[in-house]
């Protein structure tokens, strides 16, 4: 199938919850407007940042419908949903649902319990799911640190050549040799989306045109300035903005990991609630220390604004 490669910053949105831990779908229209006003070109929903693995199939459908309702008038804003990676039948159901509500694309990641033995098995799973939505771009989500599927993506691309709607890979790993090989595979046939915000500059050097990231939710201006500096060959300035990105990202690890992203969202007045168990959230005292450290990094001048 013919498809246009994605470009720019694609946010990985947090799934918003209320104080009771239930979906807060009313927030999604304003969430979309926040991303749009910060020149974000799309959303990768129900992924790692979106706690897709902690959502029921029904909740994933509701989240997808809310994003579809908020964005279907905007053909330039591309919404892709992660189907999951454990129950293949659920993935098929979610793929058909995504197509029925008008989302742009679907994505799938490797099963993390019964793991695929090799690239050929992984490609077979991809083919089975992708065939449910032959008119939609299908992306594989490579994040071996979470799935444990340590399969080289260049090997996967060699196995998926007959999947007509296999569009590319969301690549969240640090293997630049593999990433570059994938970019060059079959004359650049596949769309390679970079998935590590903290080393985007290195991916730009290799030719990446689109990135998917959680920090684009709350500090997209850092990356727009990084990209602009790179495009004018001002690598020193680009590296300065990459370091600023790293400085903010280091606080994610210091204050507990992925849930810290929702604390950042609170600081830009977009309260998405808390992460579900087993992810641990920071307490109120830690949030005060966190806020002080963020402010010390001059967050106000780099944050996304509505």
Active site residues: 141, 170
Whole-number Å distance between alpha carbons of 114 and 116: 7
Burial label for 5, CB within 10 Å (0-12, 13-18, 19+), is middle
Whole-number Å distance between alpha carbons of 78 and 43: 6
Residue with tokens 């780099």: 302
């Amino acid at each position: 199938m013919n498809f246009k490669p994605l470009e720019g910053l694609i946010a990985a949105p947090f799934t918003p919850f209320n104080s009771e831990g239930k979906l807060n779908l009313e927030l999604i229209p304003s969430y979309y407007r926040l991303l749009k006003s910060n020149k974000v070109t799309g959303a990768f929903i129900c992924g790692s940042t979106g706690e897709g693995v902690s959502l029921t199939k029904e909740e994933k459908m509701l989240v997808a419908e809310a994003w579809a309702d908020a964005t279907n008038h905007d053909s330039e804003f591309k919404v892709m949903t992660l189907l999951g990676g454990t129950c293949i039948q659920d993935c098929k159901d979610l793929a058909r649902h995504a197509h029925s509500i008008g989302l742009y694309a679907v994505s799938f990641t490797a099963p993390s319990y019964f793991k695929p033995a090799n690239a050929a098995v992984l490609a077979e799973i991809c083919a089975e799911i992708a065939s449910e939505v032959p008119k939609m771009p299908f992306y594989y989500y490579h994040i071996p640190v979470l799935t444990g599927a340590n399969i080289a993506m260049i090997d996967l691309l060699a196995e998926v050549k007959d999947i007509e709607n296999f569009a590319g890979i969301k690549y969240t790993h640090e293997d630049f040799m593999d990433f570059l090989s994938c970019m060059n595979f079959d004359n650049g046939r596949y769309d390679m989306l970079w998935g590590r915000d903290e080393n985007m500059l290195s991916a730009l050097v290799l030719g990446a045109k689109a990135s998917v990231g959680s920090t684009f939710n709350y500090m997209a201006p850092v990356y727009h300035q990084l990209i602009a500096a790179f495009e004018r060959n001002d690598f020193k300035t680009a590296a300065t903005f990459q370091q600023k990105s790293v400085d903010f990202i280091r606080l994610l690890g210091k204050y507990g990991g992925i849930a810290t992203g929702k604390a950042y969202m609170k600081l830009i007045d977009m309260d998405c609630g808390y992460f579900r168990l087993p992810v641990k959230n920071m307490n109120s005292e830690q949030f005060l220390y966190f806020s002080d450290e963020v402010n010390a990094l001059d967050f106000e001048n780099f944050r996304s604004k509505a």
